[in-house]
Chain A
Amino acid sequence: MEYGQNISVKQADLYYGDFHALKNINIEIPAKKITAFIGPSGCGKSTLLKCFNRMNDLVEGCKITGEFKIGEVDIYKTNDVNALRKNVGMVFQKPNPFPMSVYDNIAYGPRTFGIKKRAQLDEIVERSLKQAAMWDELKDRLNKSALGLSGGQQQRLCIARALSISPKIILMDEPTSALDPISTGKIEELCGELKEQATIVIVTHNMQQATRISDKTGFFLLGDLVEFGDTDQIFTNPKNEKTENYITGRFG
């Protein structure tokens, strides 16, 4: 069984204790595209995102049913969560570089997966930073602490860190909500370049961001996937009235 770049979710439900957080979700996320999840706070979009690399496993009282397939692999039927997370990287809302050098941040993942040779690690660090369009900025600061970088640089470093293990899918949970417009623009541009090699699923509260960068958009409300379609269609001619009311700011 191989990890692919498409995600297929069928009849998925998720409970946090008694709370029914995701209700009968069915979604087909295409490979090498950017898919945006939008919806009000608490609608389940981040919860679904976290299912794709089993981040919810650690949440007490969390019960998940249904099928989650990445390529051919049913990810809740495999015991090898490390292999899953090697294929599915994640970038969080708040930049979270490790308190170590830029170099060691990027090399952390590959080292965890057994790469020890310096030359190989050098190559991975350079490639990852180049993919994240940071090599020129950081090539002379590789041994400096990552905590000394600006917020925008830290977040791009986190993307570079996710890229170091060549994931097939990158999950992004509001990756630019804490950043200024210039850093946001750089990350959006980066997403456009990364989709040539990886599938990107991004949770965002910024609807203009969803329209700018995504190919597909899913609108969530109270645990339901209300509408999923091409981004152009969702933002110019949504089929569901709830989607229309939310994206036009008339929700409530």
Chain B
Amino acid sequence: MTVRKIFDEELSELKLQLVKMCRVTEEMMADSITALTQRDYELAQSVVYLDKKVDEYEMNIEKQCLRLLIKQQPVARDFRTVSSALKIITDVERIGDQAADISALTSSFKEEKSFDCPDLIPKMGELAIKMVKEAINSFVNENPFAADDVIKADDEMDDMFDEFKKQTVEKIKQNSQCADTAILFMMIAKYLERIGDHAVNICEWTKYNESGVHVKV
């Protein structure tokens, strides 16, 4: 029998809010890639606006965590859950920023008559979305093994980024006229690679929440 029913409900609510915040960033990432590949500048603009919503979630969840720390003075696993949530929202907020940055860069392609979005960009985007989704799920479901899978997936992300770098250098060598757009795509790839790193950070907190030991991967 649990004697901290209200606290348990508040912890569940905290996790629910975290999932909702994450869903918005997933939507932002998906839309930013669609906007880029389909040259949908209105959609790109909507992603930039959505970033405000993520910031609001961050502020509200932060308040919720601080209130729980003061009111419930959690210890042991409860303390780890609340402190992990406080750290995780920073990463999720940064993911929202990166998605908004990708969309802001998409708007810079407006003047280009035509361009080919490199194949690796949507692939990296797809992997980034999957990593973020599974990272948050690993925390909410208290599953450190799922966190390990995400950490492993980051190697794949890093490999794709390295490959993209090579391709970009090659492209610029062959045709220096495309250097401007190639560099913009390079920046987008870097943002996606950074999103993978944020997903790994989230997984580190999942593992800390389970083991009580924070290990940087």
Residues on A facing B (Cβ under 8 Å): 207-208, 211, 235-238, 243-244, 247-252
- The verdict on A252 contacting B3 (CB below 8 Å), with A236-B212, A237-B212 known, is yes
User: A208 CA to B74 CA in the complex, in Å?
Assistant: 10
Instruction: Enumerate chain A residues within 8 angstroms of B7, measured Cβ to Cβ.
Output: 249
The reply to whether B4 and A211 contact each other, CB–CB distance below 8 Å, is: no
B59 beta carbon closer than 8 Å to chain A:
no
The reply to whether B76 and A249 contact each other, CB–CB distance below 8 Å, is: no
B215 beta carbon closer than 8 Å to chain A:
no
B75 beta carbon closer than 8 Å to chain A:
yes
Residues on B facing A (Cβ under 8 Å): 1-4, 7, 73-80, 211-213
Q: Is the interface of B mostly helix, strand, loop or mixed?
A: loop
Which of A235, A238, A252 touches B1 (beta carbons < 8 Å)?
A: A252
User: A235 CA to B212 CA in the complex, in Å?
Assistant: 10
The reply to whether A236 and B75 contact each other, CB–CB distance below 8 Å, is: yes
Instruction: Enumerate chain B residues within 8 angstroms of A238, measured Cβ to Cβ.
Output: 76
Instruction: Enumerate chain A residues within 8 angstroms of B73, measured Cβ to Cβ.
Output: 208
- The verdict on A237 contacting B213 (CB below 8 Å), with A208-B73, A244-B76, A248-B76 known, is yes
Which of A207, A243, A250 touches B3 (beta carbons < 8 Å)?
A: A250
Contacts A237-B76, A248-B76 aside, 10 further interface pairs with beta carbons under 8 A come to: A211-B75, A235-B75, A235-B76, A236-B75, A236-B79, A237-B213, A238-B76, A243-B76, A249-B7, A251-B3
- Residue in B closest to A211 when the chains form the complex, CB atoms: B75
Minimum Cβ distance to chain A for residue B69 (Å): 12
The reply to whether A248 and B80 contact each other, CB–CB distance below 8 Å, is: no
User: A227 CA to B7 CA in the complex, in Å?
Assistant: 25
- Residue in B closest to A244 when the chains form the complex, CB atoms: B76
Instruction: Enumerate chain A residues within 8 angstroms of B76, measured Cβ to Cβ.
Output: 235-238, 243-244, 247-248
Minimum Cβ distance to chain B for residue A235 (Å): 5
Instruction: Enumerate chain B residues within 8 angstroms of A211, measured Cβ to Cβ.
Output: 75
User: A238 CA to B211 CA in the complex, in Å?
Assistant: 10
Instruction: Enumerate chain A residues within 8 angstroms of B1, measured Cβ to Cβ.
Output: 252
Instruction: Enumerate chain B residues within 8 angstroms of A207, measured Cβ to Cβ.
Output: 75
User: A56 CA to B1 CA in the complex, in Å?
Assistant: 35
The reply to whether A248 and B213 contact each other, CB–CB distance below 8 Å, is: no
Minimum Cβ distance to chain B for residue A215 (Å): 16
User: A246 CA to B84 CA in the complex, in Å?
Assistant: 21
- Residue in A closest to B80 when the chains form the complex, CB atoms: A236
Instruction: Enumerate chain A residues within 8 angstroms of B212, measured Cβ to Cβ.
Output: 236-237
- Residue in A closest to B4 when the chains form the complex, CB atoms: A249
Instruction: Enumerate chain B residues within 8 angstroms of A208, measured Cβ to Cβ.
Output: 73
- The verdict on A235 contacting B79 (CB below 8 Å), with A249-B4, A249-B7, A250-B3 known, is yes
Minimum Cβ distance to chain B for residue A19 (Å): 26
- Residue in A closest to B8 when the chains form the complex, CB atoms: A250
- Residue in B closest to A208 when the chains form the complex, CB atoms: B73
The reply to whether B77 and A244 contact each other, CB–CB distance below 8 Å, is: yes
User: A251 CA to B211 CA in the complex, in Å?
Assistant: 21
Minimum Cβ distance to chain A for residue B144 (Å): 14
Instruction: Enumerate chain B residues within 8 angstroms of A248, measured Cβ to Cβ.
Output: 4, 74-78
- Residue in B closest to A251 when the chains form the complex, CB atoms: B3
Instruction: Enumerate chain A residues within 8 angstroms of B4, measured Cβ to Cβ.
Output: 248-250
User: A243 CA to B77 CA in the complex, in Å?
Assistant: 11
Instruction: Enumerate chain A residues within 8 angstroms of B80, measured Cβ to Cβ.
Output: 236-237
Q: Which 9 A-B pairs have the closest CB atoms?
A: A237-B212, A235-B75, A249-B4, A247-B75, A244-B76, A248-B78, A248-B76, A250-B2, A238-B76
User: A243 CA to B80 CA in the complex, in Å?
Assistant: 15
Minimum Cβ distance to chain A for residue B211 (Å): 8
- Residue in B closest to A235 when the chains form the complex, CB atoms: B75
Minimum Cβ distance to chain A for residue B189 (Å): 39
Instruction: Enumerate chain A residues within 8 angstroms of B79, measured Cβ to Cβ.
Output: 235-236
Instruction: Enumerate chain B residues within 8 angstroms of A251, measured Cβ to Cβ.
Output: 3
Minimum Cβ distance to chain B for residue A147 (Å): 35
- The verdict on A249 contacting B213 (CB below 8 Å), with A235-B79, A238-B76, A244-B77 known, is no
Instruction: Enumerate chain A residues within 8 angstroms of B2, measured Cβ to Cβ.
Output: 250
